[in-house]
Amino acid sequence: MSISATIISLLLGTFSVVEYKKSLQNDVLNTMKMLADDILEHQFYTADEKELKSIMLSKDNYHHENYIGYMKYIGFKYVKNTDNLSYDLMLREKLPNGKFLVIYSSSESINHQVKKFLIHLSLGFIIILIILVGVFYILLEKLLNPLKCLVDYCNNVDSNINTLPLCNGSYEIKSLKDAIINLQNNNQQLCKDKQDIFKEAAHEIKTPIAILKARLSLFSKSDMKKSDFIKESMDDISTISNKLRELIFLKAIEWDIQKAKELVQMQNQCEMMQQLFHPILEKKNIKMVSNLEDDFTLFIHKEAIARVMQAVFENIFMHTKNGTTINNYIDAKKYELKIVNEIGENSDEILFSSKIGEKLISRLAEKLDYEYETYEKDGFFYTIIEFKAQK
């Protein structure tokens, strides 16, 4: 890039010099033209060649500084034939007497001025270069090097952060550096979480797979019916997929817990569940009723608790008897939600079921600060969720 800049600068400089020289030459020629016109007009051509110059010099018009400079180098000549003349700059005018007036000049003055111009141009170029280098150096130190440092931070994901350079720079650069580090840490954590989820999934499903293997081994050696074996194996496979589902659910909750807590109203949660499961409630002809006069507000991980509530209500809807009512009792003093439903047969409505079991909901109790209890009594199923920590 610097070579092309230099070449362009040289070309521009050359062009400028050439153009300047041309303009100077044009000025001289114009002066010569003026002189020639003047001579012809006032018939000064009658004078001698040497006298002619003195006459022109004496005229006020040519006392202007520029002309005086040119006049020094201008000469006059009368010739019959201009073919053999070769002056640097020359103007010829035909005189009435058939001769030619030749006004000529050497390029000495022009060359001198061009030299001066070249020197000025070079000096200017050097000064601009110095200024540019200075600006570039400042940019390098204050912007480009810190940016390069930040790029290194982005590229060196695996390196220990303490081995990377400090990235000195403005406050904004430092903030950007911190933001990049945070982003990398979060990304690394996400990658680790992703690896962990697979590792955990592999661990969780090993026992169910061992059961499947053991069953297959026994089947080959026993009189077990093929249909029984298939049925039991399908149950094993269902167990495996449930475990995976629960694992994904747990990970989603863990992710939700990373976000900030929010204010959540329990009545809203119940209404949300009613809306969410409206199709299944309609199909099973189940009503859901809440005691609207009472309500409490939780300061909790909103999405996480929504998932748990969804899982709780799903389980309830699955086993609630068709055509009955589910009652939600909200106790604002105890920060408790009690759900009572009549027990029916297990529904086949797996479409809306996340199949998150009670065990898992109990496991999450500690993470989300609630207590979870269920029991059956006189044909009714009671689900109690108490948010003691919120009191």
Partner 1 sequence: MRILMLEDDPMLSKLVSQYLSEYFCIDAVCDIKDAKEYLCQFNYDVVLLDRNIYGYDIGLNLISDIKNKNQSTGIIVISAYDNISDKIEGLNLGADDYLDKPFDNDELLARIYALSRRNQPFENIEIEGVSFNTRYKTISYKNEEILLTKKESEMFFYILQKKSQIVSKDELLDALYLNPQNISSNTIDVTIGHIRKKLPVPIIKTVKTRGYIIA
- Work out which of 68, 119, 138, 210 binds partner 1, going by CB under 8 A: 210
State yes or no: residue 215 binds partner 1 (CB under 8 A).
yes
Residue written as token pair 């199949």 = 355
DSSP summary character for residue 320? B
Only segment of 12-20, 123-131, 208-216, 247-255 that touches partner 1 (CB under 8 A): 208-216
Burial of 338 (0-12, 13-18, 19+ CB in 10 A): middle
Cβ atoms of 75 and 104 closer than 8 Å:
yes
- Work out which of 144, 218, 237, 292 binds partner 1, going by CB under 8 A: 218
Residue written as token pair 């939700």 = 256
State yes or no: residue 157 binds partner 1 (CB under 8 A).
no
State yes or no: residue 230 binds partner 1 (CB under 8 A).
no
Nearer to partner 1, 80 or 226 (CB): 226
Rounded Cα distance between 377 and 375, Å, is 7
Nearer to partner 1, 203 or 287 (CB): 203
State yes or no: residue 214 binds partner 1 (CB under 8 A).
yes
Rounded Cα distance between 299 and 107, Å, is 93
Nearer to partner 1, 241 or 285 (CB): 241
Nearer to partner 1, 93 or 235 (CB): 235
Closest CA to 132 of 9, 243, 220: 9
Burial of 66 (0-12, 13-18, 19+ CB in 10 A): exposed
Longest dimension (CA), the chain: 145
> What sign has the CA pseudo-torsion 45, 51, 52, 55?
negative
- For residue 371, give both structure tokens: 């207590």
Residues in CB range of 300: below 8 A, 6 or more apart: 261, 262, 264, 368, 369, 387, 390
- Work out which of 57, 211, 272, 340 binds partner 1, going by CB under 8 A: 211
State yes or no: residue 217 binds partner 1 (CB under 8 A).
yes
Determine phi and psi for 297, rounding to 5 degrees: -110, 135
State yes or no: residue 203 binds partner 1 (CB under 8 A).
yes
Question: Which SS3 state, helix, strand or coil, does residue 359 take?
Answer: helix
Only segment of 124-132, 205-213, 315-323, 378-386 that touches partner 1 (CB under 8 A): 205-213
State yes or no: residue 237 binds partner 1 (CB under 8 A).
no
Nearer to partner 1, 91 or 240 (CB): 240
In sequence order, what are the beta bridge partners of 75? 104
Cβ atoms of 372 and 365 closer than 8 Å:
yes
Name the minimum Å distance from CB 200 to partner 1: 11
Nearer to partner 1, 121 or 209 (CB): 209
State yes or no: residue 149 binds partner 1 (CB under 8 A).
no
State yes or no: residue 221 binds partner 1 (CB under 8 A).
yes
Residue 299, H or E segment: strand 297-300
State yes or no: residue 206 binds partner 1 (CB under 8 A).
yes
Size of the site for partner 1 (CB under 8 A): 15
State yes or no: residue 365 binds partner 1 (CB under 8 A).
no
Residues in CB range of 263: below 8 A, 6 or more apart: 297, 298, 299
State yes or no: residue 238 binds partner 1 (CB under 8 A).
no
Name the minimum Å distance from CB 362 to partner 1: 12
Residue 329 carries which side chain, given as an amino acid letter?
Y
Burial of 146 (0-12, 13-18, 19+ CB in 10 A): buried
Nearer to partner 1, 11 or 218 (CB): 218
State yes or no: residue 234 binds partner 1 (CB under 8 A).
no
Only segment of 50-58, 75-83, 217-225, 304-312 that touches partner 1 (CB under 8 A): 217-225
Name the minimum Å distance from CB 204 to partner 1: 8
Cα 214 to the center of its chain, rounded Å: 54
Nearer to partner 1, 235 or 349 (CB): 235
State yes or no: residue 226 binds partner 1 (CB under 8 A).
no
Name the minimum Å distance from CB 360 to partner 1: 12
Per CB under 8 A, residues contacting partner 1 are 203-204, 206-207, 209-215, 217-218, 221, 236
